[in-house]
């Protein structure tokens, strides 16, 4: 028998209370019953986003919210600065170019990150830039940007700061209002612990002024239409009713734990995983000073077929992780540790990794990763 565990960087395991919520009878979305559910979700999202601004709920993946961020705030020919240090930074670049924007790319090799002073330099060289677009947590590489410092720099200019927080909101510190983030997007299947299908986006007052002037084509993701619907406590289009019900239950669990403790839990677990990996003699793919709290990317050791690691871990040892994406396929594997995870998951994940590596011929002292991870957990898993 193999007991299955999901340790991908999204979708993630779903708490039983949330699954139960989705099993309840569905109802029509143009009713007071749904309005009550929706308003509750709006307020809960403000708590997690740490903002007083309205957080729109879209029926889409996180990429839909990325699209919405661009098409609702920018205009034809606008110059934007994109920070590209992974596959999802490249996605910002592709979206911006698809809308005909003038894209200035600050590019770093996978595993590294654009520094705040490089952003500052680019803004001085391009004072007409209308926005800076970046990932907070780059899911493809396990790198986390210095978002707080970058936000401090961008907020002193007329440019918008547009942030993909899909694998950071709800597991890392992201203070939208306090830091001066203008557009923040997130997705349901990450730290929010519900299935894929919803994305979330919030705009600052500065971004709303840009929205009034935006002339890019838009329809389904037109946030002006969503804004009209807010006063009626509804959505512009058919919403994901059961997903929003699940969202409320998930945020209820997050509130019960306390957002500060949620972030601490992810911080300690991610450190424990990294220490376990290093104890095996493996190299972390992230070479930057800040690591993602959601996912740890690991270099495949020489002589090992990297494509077999996720397959064996899933099929034989019951731990589903993610491989590398694009050019990184077979070169790295990614251990997800966000959402519905606790200290016990670290043990299960690393044990499955040890069994897998042993089967593939990698030499190490059995249990060494568990010992290193447990040292972190015993010292810091207290909140």
Q: Are 141 and 286 in contact (CB under 8 A)?
A: yes
- How many residues are there in the chain? 383
Beta carbons within 10 angstroms of residue 369's beta carbon: 28
Backbone angles phi, psi at 15, to 5 degrees: -60, 145
Q: Are 335 and 313 in contact (CB under 8 A)?
A: no
Tell me the average pLDDT of the chain. Answer: 98
State the CATH class of domain 16-256. Answer: alpha beta
Say how far apart CA 357 and CA 302 lie, in whole Å: 12
User: pLDDT tens across 181-199, in order?
Assistant: 999 999 999 999 999 999 9
DSSP strand pairing (102-107 vs 79-84): parallel
Q: Are 197 and 240 in contact (CB under 8 A)?
A: yes
Q: Is the pLDDT of residue 217 over 90?
A: yes
- For residues 328-356, one letter each, b for 16 or more C-beta atoms within 10 angstroms of the residue's C-beta and e for the rest, the string is beebbbbbbbbbbbebebbbbbbbbbbbb
| Residue 135 confidence (pLDDT) | 98
CATH 3.90.1150.10 location in the chain: 5-11+259-380
User: pLDDT tens across 264-292, in order?
Assistant: 999 999 999 999 999 999 999 999 999 99
Upper half-sphere CA count for residue 202 (Cβ side, 13 Å): 27
Question: Among all chains, which residue has been given the structure tokens 């490249």?
Answer: 90
**CA neighbor of 176 nearest in space, from 70, 67, 290, 52:** 52
Question: Among all chains, which residue has been given the structure tokens 């590209």?
Answer: 84
User: pLDDT tens across 11-69, in order?
Assistant: 999 999 999 999 999 999 999 999 999 999 999 999 999 999 999 999 999 999 999 99
Say how far apart CA 129 and CA 146 lie, in whole Å: 20
Residue 317: pLDDT band by 50, 70, 90 thresholds?
A: very high
Residue 326: pLDDT band by 50, 70, 90 thresholds?
A: confident
3-state secondary structure 57-95: EECCCHHHHHHHHHHCCCCCCCEEEEEECCHHHHHHHHH
| Residue 383 confidence (pLDDT) | 79
Peptide bond into 11 cis (omega under 30): yes
Torsion angle of the four alpha carbons 187, 207, 290, 342, in this order, in degrees rounded to the nearest 10: -30
Residue 170: pLDDT band by 50, 70, 90 thresholds?
A: very high
CATH topology of domain 5-11+259-380: 3.90.1150
% of residues, the chain, pLDDT over 90: 99
Q: Are 137 and 191 in contact (CB under 8 A)?
A: no
| Residue 71 confidence (pLDDT) | 99
Residue 351 parent element (H or E): helix 343-359
User: pLDDT tens across 111-138, in order?
Assistant: 999 999 999 999 999 999 999 999 999 9
DSSP strand pairing (199-203 vs 143-144): unpaired
Helical packing angle, 87-98 and 62-71, nearest 10°: 40
CA 31 to chain centre: 32
CATH 3.40.640.10 location in the chain: 16-256
Q: Which two tokens stand for residue 110?
A: 């996978």
Say how far apart CA 140 and CA 331 lie, in whole Å: 12
Cα–Cα distance list, 254 to 49, 148, 204, 251, 342 (Å): 12, 23, 24, 5, 13
Q: Are 135 and 112 in contact (CB under 8 A)?
A: no
Strands, sheet with 79-84, edge to edge from the N-terminal-most edge strand: 55-58, 199-203, 183-187, 160-164, 131-135, 79-84, 102-107
Model pTM? 0.97
């Amino acid at each position: 028998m193999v007991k299955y565990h999901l340790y991908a960087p999204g979708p993630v395991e779903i708490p039983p209370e949330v699954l139960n919520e989705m099993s309840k009878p569905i109802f029509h979305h143009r009713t007071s019953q749904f309005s009550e559910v929706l308003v509750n979700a709006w307020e809960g999202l403000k708590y997690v986003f740490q903002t007083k601004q309205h957080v729109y709920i879209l029926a889409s993946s996180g990429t839909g919210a990325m699209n919405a961020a661009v098409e609702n705030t920018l205009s034809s020919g606008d110059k934007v600065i994109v920070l590209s240090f992974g596959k999802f930074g490249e996605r910002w670049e592709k979206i911006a170019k698809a809308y005909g924007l003038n894209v200035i790319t600050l590019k770093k090799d996978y595993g590294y990150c654009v520094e705040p002073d490089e952003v500052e330099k680019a803004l001085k060289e391009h004072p007409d830039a209308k926005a800076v677009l970046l990932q907070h947590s780059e899911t493809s590489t396990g790198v986390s940007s210095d978002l707080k410092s970058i936000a401090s720099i961008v907020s002193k200019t007329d440019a918008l700061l547009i942030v993909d927080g899909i694998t950071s909101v709800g597991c890392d510190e992201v203070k939208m209002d306090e830091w001066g983030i203008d557009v923040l997007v997130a997705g349901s299947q990450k730290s929010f612990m519900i299935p894929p299908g919803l994305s979330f986006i919030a705009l600052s007052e500065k971004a709303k002024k840009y929205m009034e002037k935006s002339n890019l084509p838009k329809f389904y993701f037109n946030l002006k239409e969503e804004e009209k619907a807010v006063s009626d406590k509804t959505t512009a289009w058919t919403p994901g009713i059961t997903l929003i019900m699940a969202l409320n239950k998930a945020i209820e669990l997050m509130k019960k734990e306390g957002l500060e403790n949620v972030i601490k839990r992810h911080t300690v677990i991610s450190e424990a995983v990294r220490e376990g990996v290093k104890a095996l003699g493996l190299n972390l793919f992230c070479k930057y000073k800040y690591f993602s709290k959601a996912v740890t990317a690991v270099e495949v050791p020489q002589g090992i077929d990297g494509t077999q690691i996720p397959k064996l871990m899933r099929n034989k040892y019951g731990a589903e992780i993610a491989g590398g994406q694009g050019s990184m396929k077979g070169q790295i594997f990614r251990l997800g540790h966000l959402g519905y995870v606790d200290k016990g998951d670290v043990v299960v994940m690393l044990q499955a990794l040890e069994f897998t590596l042993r089967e593939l011929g990698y030499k190490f002292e059995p249990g060494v990763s568990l010992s290193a991870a447990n040292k972190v957990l015993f010292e810091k898993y207290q909140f």
